[in-house]
């Protein structure tokens, strides 16, 4: 599990910046004359320094000093010009992507102090330029959010949007399912023209193209994955196997799993144990080949 933290202080907090942030702040104020490239400006700087200092040259030792000064100043100028280019690139690419690869989980703190726990094979994307004033991000996959109080916080997912103030909730947004579970506070869930508000202990879910809300007696199981436990209630076997693929970074082959359903739970600690928990009650065998691919087949009586 990884922990990430990325803060972007306001312009008035220069003294509290990290060293690289101070450098970027200073470099951002550099401007080149119109029509002059970075390399041309550097060459011109070298010539002018050399012309100015040559008038003071009285001996061979002075020439060496001047050459050294030209070298030092030119190196500094080149570094600042490079930083200016990096800063320009930073402005043109403001999106931050935080990705949890298959078989991993990421804990991430946003600039406003909100915490996000990102499940395997999921990502969040947000704009670093003005996040504190416009708290918005996109989610692909599953994540648990603990939102710091402040301005409205919005999340865009492929099949719906979520709007909250200060609260904690889980969002499951995969190609075949969309579900939001509220643990604290209040959450507004929207998809298309439909919108519902859910309170602690309630979930909102898309069922047969309708957004429905309900008291969820299994609300705590929605966040079990944060501790490595995955719970299913009469879920399609295909969805269960997809979760195993994400958690263990493996691939299934062989069985058509769309017509079977599974109720139960497994952890992401042991692949063989997870496979047995799912397959044995359904009368299935599993076999892992030397390439790591898992074949599922009917158990022979």
Report mean pLDDT in 10-residue bins for the chain, 301 residues.
Answer: 51 50 50 52 53 52 56 61 51 81 96 96 92 92 96 94 94 95 96 96 95 95 95 93 95 78 95 95 89 84 56
pLDDT for 10 equals 47
Q: Do the strands 135-146 and 168-174 form a parallel or antiparallel pair, or are they unpaired?
A: antiparallel
Q: Which domains does the chain have, with CATH numbers?
A: 11-92 (no CATH), 95-222 (2.60.120.1440), 228-298 (3.55.50.30)
List phi, psi (to 5°) of 209.
Answer: 70, 5
Residue 300 DSSP symbol: P
Cα gap 200→168, rounded to integer Å = 9
Distance CA 155, CA 160 (A): 9
Residue 147 burial (CB count, 10 A): 25
For 26, the token pair is 């200073």
From CA 282, how far away is CA 299, in angstroms rounded? 9
Query: Which pLDDT value is given to residue 20?
Result: 47
pLDDT of residue 292: 78
Tokens of 114: 């909100």
Residue 274 corresponds to which tokens in the numbers above? 């997870």
């Amino acid at each position: 599990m990884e922990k990430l933290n990325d803060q972007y202080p306001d312009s008035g907090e220069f003294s509290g910046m990290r060293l690289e942030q101070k450098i970027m702040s200073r470099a951002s104020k550099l401007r080149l004359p119109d029509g002059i490239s970075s390399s041309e400006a550097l060459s011109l700087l070298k010539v002018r320094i050399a012309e100015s200092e040559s008038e003071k040259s009285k001996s061979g030792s002075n020439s060496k000093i001047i050459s050294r000064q030209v070298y030092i100043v030119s190196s500094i100028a080149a570094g600042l010009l490079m930083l200016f280019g990096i800063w320009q690139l930073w402005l043109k690419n403001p999106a931050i992507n935080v990705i949890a690869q298959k078989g991993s989980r990421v804990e991430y703190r946003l600039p406003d102090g909100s915490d996000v726990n990102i499940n395997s094979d999921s990502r969040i994307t947000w704009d670093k330029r003005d996040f504190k004033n416009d708290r918005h991000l996109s989610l692909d996959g599953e994540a648990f959010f603990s939102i710091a109080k402040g301005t409205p916080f919005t999340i865009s997912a492929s099949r719906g949007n979520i709007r909250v103030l200060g609260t904690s909730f889980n969002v499951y947004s995969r190609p075949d399912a969309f579900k939001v579970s509220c643990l604290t506070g209040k959450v507004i869930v929207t998809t298309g023209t439909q919108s519902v508000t859910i309170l602690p202990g309630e979930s909102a879910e898309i069922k047969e193209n309708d957004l429905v809300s309900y008291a969820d007696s299994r609300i705590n199981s929605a966040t079990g994955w944060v501790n490595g436990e995955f719970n299913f209630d009469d879920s399609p076997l295909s969805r269960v196997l997809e979760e195993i693929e994400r958690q263990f970074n493996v691939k299934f082959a062989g069985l058509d799993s769309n017509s079977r359903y599974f109720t139960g739970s497994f952890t992401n600690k042991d692949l063989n144990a997870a496979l047995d928990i799912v397959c044995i009650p359904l009368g299935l065998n599993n076999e892992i080949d030397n390439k790591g691919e898992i074949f599922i087949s009917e158990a022979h009586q």
